[in-house]
Amino acid sequence: MDVRGWTYVLVGVTFALYVGIAVWSRVRSTAGFYVAGRDVPPLANGMATGADWMSAASFISMAGLVSFMGYTGAIYLMGWTGGYVLLALLLAPYLRKYGKFTTSEFLGDRYYSQTARVVGALCTIFVSFTYIAGQMRGVGVVFSRFLEVEVETGVVIGMVIVLFYATLGGMRGITWTQVAQYAVLIVAYLIPAVAISWKITGQPVPQIGFGATVAEGTNAGRFLLETLDHLHRELGMPAYTDAFVPGKKGMLDVLAITGALMVGTAGLPHVLIRFYTVPSARAARWSALWALVFIALLYTTAPAVAAFARVNLIQSLHGVAVANVPPWFESWEATGLIGFDDKDGDGRITLSGDAQRNELRVDRDIMVLANPEIARLPAWIVALVAAGGLAAALSTAAGLLLVISSAISHDFAKSWLAPGLSERRELSLARATAAVAVLIAAWFGINPPGFVAQVVAFAFGLAASSFFPALVLGIFWKRATREGAVAGMLAGILFTATYIVWFEYVSPASAPEGYWLGISPEGIGAVGMLLNFAVAIPLSLATRPPPVEVVELVEEIRLPRSREV
Amino acid sequence: MSEANPQRRGYWRANVRLMALLLAIWAIASYGLGILWVEPLNRFQLGGFPLGFWFAQQGSIYVFVVLILVYALCMDRLDRRHGVD
C-alpha cells in the first residue's frame, strides 16, 4: 500500500476512535460539560494536558524551528516546558481547591469584582481564538499534503469531527479523546525519531544519539554536534551550538522570550482549566507532574530530531548536482515547501550563510513532515506522522473551544446577563456556543488572517501580562485588592499590546533596531508581567484591604482539604 | 489558618519555604545554566554535548520534571503531617 492508502486507513481509524469515545462519554450536566465531572484520574489528565498543550506548532513546526535556530531554539524548548513548574507550584492545586468552572470566575470572586471577571473572560476569548485559527489551518494543511485534497476540504472534515465530540461530550468527551490523541501523537513522533537516530548515530534513543558520534560517511566517529558546527562554519553560518554570536538573538532577548513563554504557559486559560477536572488539590499536583513527563517526552526528542534533520539536509543536498537530487526532494518541491534557485548557474545546489549566494529555500515544517521520507522509512510510518499531526491540532482546538464556550455561557450569560438561567438551558447554550465557535474557527482556518503567526506572540504576551500576576497575587497575598489587580492587569495588557502592535503593524521598518533593550515583541510579555506586579502591589497597599469573606476564601483555598470535613 | 491557628500557619510557611527553594533551582537551571552562563559552560563537554548547550536543550527540561516530582512528594508528606490531606 502507498502513503496515501495508509494515510486514509490510519486517519480513518483514529477518527472513528475519537467519535466512539465521544458517544461513550456524552454528558448531561454543566459540571460534566465544563470540568468533566471532576473525576479524571491524574495520569489520564496528564496525558490529556499533554495533547491539549502540544499543538500543530509543537508537533509540526518546532523541530524545524530549532533546526534553523540552533542554540537559540532553547527559547521554545525551555519556555514551553518551564511554565509547568510555575503551574504545579503556584497555581494548579489552589485553583482546583477553589473549584467552580472557570479561571475568570476565580478572578471575579477573589477580587470581589464583576469587572475583573469580564476582563478575564474577554482575554480568554481573544487568546483562545487567536490560537484556534492556527489549529484549524494545521488540520487543513496536513490533509492537503498527505491526502491531496484542498485545504478547505481538510478544514471542514476537521471541523465536523471536533464539532461532534466537543458539543456531545463537552469536557468529558474532550478529555478522553485527548488521552487517545496523546497516544497517537507521541507514537507518531517517536517512531521516526528513533529510526533516524538509529540511522545516523547507531543509537536508538534520540536523546542519547543527539550527543553520540556519527556512524558512517566522511564524518564517521566524530560527534554529531561537532560535525554540525563544522558544517555550519564551512558554509559561512554561525556554529549550531554557539549561543550569542552575530546572526543569533542577544542574551537579554533570549531571557525575555523564555520568560514570557514560561509565564504565558502558566496563564493560558485552556491549560489552567485542565486542572479543574481532577478530584482534589493533591491530584492536581500529581497531574501537573504527569503532564510535564508526557510533554518532556516530545520536547527532549524535538531538539535531537532538529540536529539529525540539519545534518541530513546539508549532507544530502549541499553541492549535489540537480540531476542527482534524492526523490523526496522532487515530491516536496511540488508542495512549495522546498525550493532551489541556481543563482551561480553551475547546476549544483549551494547552501550558504550568505543570502546572496544561498540557493536552497526550506520551509521549517518540512523537517518533521518529510523526515521519514528523507530517512527512507516505510509508507505506514509516513502516514502515521499525518495522523499524529491531526491528533495534535484537533486536541488543542477542542480544548480551546471549550474555554471559549464556558467563557460565554458561564462568565457572560449565567453570571452577568441572565443570572436566572436554569442548568439545562445553560448546558444547551454551552453546546450552541461551542458549535458557533467552531464555525468561526473554521472560517479563520480557510481564510487565515495574515497576522496568525504574530498573534501567537500576542496570546502568550497577554496571558503573561494579565492572568499570571493577578492569579499569583490573589493566592499568595491576602492584601491584594480589587483596585490593584484590575489596574495591574490593564497596565500589563496595554503596555504589551502597544509594544507588539507598534513593531508588528505600525512601524515594522523600525524593527529590530528600535527594540527597547533589544527585546523583541515575542518577549515583551515578560516586561508586561513585571509592570503588572509593579502597579498592582503599591496600589493594593494604598487602597482599602479586601473584605473579610475574601480573606477567608484565600485561607480556604490554601488548604488541600475543605474545612467542614 | 487564621492567626489563631498556629498549626495551619506552620503548614503554609513550610509550603512557601519549599516552593521558594524549588523555584530558585528552577531559575538557576533555566535562566542561569541555560542562558546566562551558557558560554562559559560550553567550554566543558558532556559526551558529545557542549555543557551549556545541553542544559539549554535537554538538562533544564529534566530538572523541571524532577522539581515537580519533589514538590508532589514533599507536599504529600506535609499534608499528612499537618492533617490537611
Within an 8 Å CB–CB cutoff, is residue B24 touching chain A?
Answer: no
**Of the candidates A73, A258, A299, which has its C-beta nearest B35's C-beta?**
A258
Letter string b/e over residues A35-61, b meaning 16 or more CB atoms within 10 A of that residue's CB: bbbbebebbbbbbbbbbbbbbbbbbbb
Could you tell me the pLDDT band of residue A456, with boundaries at 50, 70 and 90? low
| A173, amino acid identity | G
* Residue A452 scores a pLDDT above 70: no
pLDDT at B73 over 90: yes
pLDDT of the residue at A36: 86
Comparing A57-66, A107-116, A503-512, which segment has the lowest mean pLDDT? A503-512
Mean pLDDT of A545-557: 92
- Using an 8 Å CB-CB cutoff, list chain B residues near A303: 57-58
Contacts of A553 in chain B (CB under 8 A): none
A24-38, A166-180, A413-427, A541-555 — most confident range: A541-555
Q: How many CB atoms lie within 10 A of CB A349?
A: 21
Q: How many domains does chain A have?
A: 1
Are A245 and A238 within 8 A, CB to CB? yes
Q: Find the domain containing A389 and state its range.
A: 3-207+219-244+254-557
Alpha helices in A202-250 (DSSP H): 206-209, 224-234
DSSP string covering A122-185? HHHHHHHHHHHHHHHHHHHHHHHHHH---HHHHHHHHHHHHHHHHHHHHHHHHHHHHHHHHHHH
Distance CA A75, CA A460 (A): 13
Q: Has residue A564 been placed in a domain? A: no
Among the partner-chain residues A77, A255, A561, the one whose CB lies closest to the CB of B31 is A255
| pLDDT at position A295 over 90 | yes
In a mutagenesis test of the B interface, which of A298, A559, A563, A565 is the best target, namely the one with the most B β-carbons within 10 Å?
A: A559
User: For A317-337, what is each residue's pLDDT tens digit?
Assistant: 888 888 888 877 877 777 777
| Contact between chains at B58 and A207 (C-beta distance less than 8 A) | yes
Task: Please enumerate in sequence order all residues whose Cβ is within 8 A of that of A534, keeping only pairs 6 or more positions apart, or say none.
Answer: none
B11 assigned to some structural domain: yes
Indicate whether B80 pLDDT > 70.
Answer: yes
Q: How many domains does chain B have?
A: 1
The answer to the question of residue B35 being in a domain is: yes
- The whole-angstrom separation of Cα A233 and Cα A236 is 5
Angle at A34 between CA A163 and CA A261, to 5 degrees: 85
Question: Domain for residue B33, yes or no?
Answer: yes
Residues of B in contact with A559 (CB under 8 A): 1, 8, 11, 84
Q: Does A192 touch chain B (CB under 8 A)?
A: no
Three-state SS at A244: coil
Q: Residue A261, CB half-sphere, CA atoms under 13 Å: how many? A: 22
C-alpha A66: how far from chain center:
15
Helix (H, G, I), strand (E, B) or coil at A51: helix
Amino acid, res. A254:
V
Summarize pLDDT for A232-272 with one digit per residue, the tens.
Answer: 998 888 999 999 988 889 999 999 999 999 999 999 999 99
Q: Is B27 on the interface with A (CB under 8 A)?
A: no
* CA-based nearest distance B60→chain A, Å: 7
Amino acid A410: pLDDT: 87
- pLDDT above 70: percentage of residues in chain A: 97
Out of A122-131, A382-391, A505-514, least confident range: A505-514
Is B4 at the interface with chain A, CB within 8 A?
no
| A214 assigned to some structural domain | no
What is the structure's pLDDT at A278? 92
Using the beta-carbon criterion (under 8 Å), do B49 and A210 form an inter-chain contact? yes
Per-residue pLDDT at A353 exceeds 90: no
Q: Which tens digit of pLDDT belongs to each residue from A200-221?
A: 899 999 999 999 998 887 888 8
Residue A46 domain flag: yes
**Chain B residues whose beta carbon lies within 8 Å of the beta carbon of residue A82:** 26, 30, 60, 64
pLDDT score for A550:
92
Across the interface, whether the CB atoms of B48 and A226 are under 8 A apart is answered: yes
Q: Please tell me the distance from the alpha carbon of residue A384 to that of residue A233, in angstroms, as a whole number.
A: 36
Query: A92 CA to chain B: closest CA distance, Å?
Result: 12
Among the ranges given (A72-81, A283-292, A407-416), the one the predictor scored with the smallest mean pLDDT: A407-416
Rounded to a whole number of angstroms, the distance from the CA of A227 to the nearest CA of chain B is: 10
Mean pLDDT of all residues in A478-493: 93
Q: What is the mean pLDDT of residues B74-78?
A: 93
| pLDDT at A83 (0 to 100) | 95
Mean pLDDT on A55-76? 88
Q: Measured between alpha carbons, how far is A439 from A167 in angstroms, rounded to an integer?
A: 12
- For residue A72, the model assigns a pLDDT of 94
For A11, A142, A174, the CA distances from A257, given in Å and listed in that order, are 36, 29, 31
B59 touches chain A (CB under 8 A): no
**Is A82 in Cβ contact with B30 (below 8 Å)?**
yes
Q: Lowest mean pLDDT of A58-72, A131-145, B18-32, name the range.
A: A131-145
- The DSSP secondary-structure symbol of A411 reads I
Nearest CA among A175, A180, A398, A128 for reference residue A275: A175
Q: Which CATH number does the domain housing residue A391 bear?
A: 1.20.1730.10
Rounded to the nearest 5 degrees, what angle is found at the Cα of A269, between the Cα atoms of A530 and A516? 30
pTM of the model: 0.92
More confident residue, A413 or B72: B72
B contacts of A250 (beta carbons < 8 Å): none
Distance from CA of A450 to the nearest CA of B (A): 31
Q: Tell me the chain A residues in contact with residue B65 when contact means C-beta distances shorter than 8 Å.
A: 289, 292-293, 296
Rounded to 5°, the CA angle A320-A324-A327 comes to: 115
Instruction: Please answer whether residues B68 and B85 qualify as being in contact, where contact means their C-beta atoms are separated by less than 8 angstroms.
Output: no
The amino acid occupying position A148 is E
Q: Are the CB atoms for A273 and A471 separated by under 8 Å? A: no
Q: Name the minimum distance, in Å, from the CA of A229 to any CA of chain B.
A: 11
Nine-digit cell at A543? 487602597
Q: What's the distance, CA B55 to chain centroid?
A: 15
A534-543 pLDDT, tens digit per residue, is 999 999 999 9
Q: Is the CB of A252 inside 8 Å of chain B's CB atoms?
A: no
Mean pLDDT of A282-299: 95
Residue A450: per-residue pLDDT: 54
- Is residue A212, in this structure, part of any structural domain at all? no
Residue A300 cell numbers, joined? 527532549
Chain B: residue nearest A306 by CA? B57
Residue of A nearest to B39 (CA): A243
Taking residues A128-146, report their average pLDDT: 78
Please check whether residue A394 lies inside any domain of the structure: yes
pLDDT score at A457: 65
How close is the nearest chain A Cα to the Cα of B13, in Å?
A: 11
Whether A472 and chain B come into contact, CB under 8 Å, resolves to no
Q: How confident is the model at residue A514 (pLDDT cuts 50, 70, 90)?
A: confident
Note whether residue A249 is domain-resident: no
Model confidence band, residue A533 (pLDDT cutoffs 50, 70, 90): very high
Q: Answer yes or no: is A213 within a domain.
A: no
**Is residue B1 situated within a structural domain?**
no
CB-CB: which of B48, B64, B85 is closest to A292?
B64
Nearest to A300 among B48, B58, B79 (CB): B58
> Quick one: pLDDT at residue B56?
96
Provide the pLDDT for residue A455.
63
A221 CB neighbour count, 10 Å cutoff: 9
At position A452, the amino acid (one-letter code) is V
How high is the pLDDT of residue B19? 96
List all residues 6 or more positions away from A97 whose beta carbon is below 8 Å from its beta carbon. Answer: A281, A556, A557, A558, A559, A560, A562
Of A241, A254, A286, the CB nearest to B35: A254
Residue A536 CB contacts under 8 Å (≥ 6 apart), including other chains: A469, A470, A473, A480, A484, A485, A487, A488, A489
Q: Are A79 and A260 in contact (CB under 8 A)?
A: yes
Q: Is B49 on the interface with A (CB under 8 A)?
A: yes
Chain B environment of A311 (Cβ under 8 Å): none
- What is the domain range of residue B52? 6-81
Residue B53, in any domain of the structure: yes
What are the φ/ψ torsions at residue A356 (nearest 5 degrees)? -70, -30
Cα separation, A285 vs A45, whole angstroms: 11
Three state DSSP letters for A53-109: HCCHHHHHHHHHHHHHHHHHHHHHHHHHHHHHHHHHHHHHHHHHHHCCCCHHHHHHH
Query: What ipTM was estimated for this complex?
Result: 0.94
**B21 in contact with chain A, both atoms CB, cutoff 8 A:** no
C-alpha cell at A495: 503596555
Dihedral sign for Cα A118, A123, A129, A135, please: negative
Question: In this structure, is residue A329 part of a structural domain?
Answer: yes
Percent of the residues in chain A that have a pLDDT greater than 90, as a whole number? 40
Q: Does the pLDDT at position B2 exceed 60?
A: no
Q: Is residue A228 very low, low, confident or very high in pLDDT (cuts 50, 70, 90)?
A: very high
Report pLDDT digits (tens) over A461-477.
888 998 999 999 999 99
Q: How far is B30 from chain A (nearest CA, A)?
A: 7
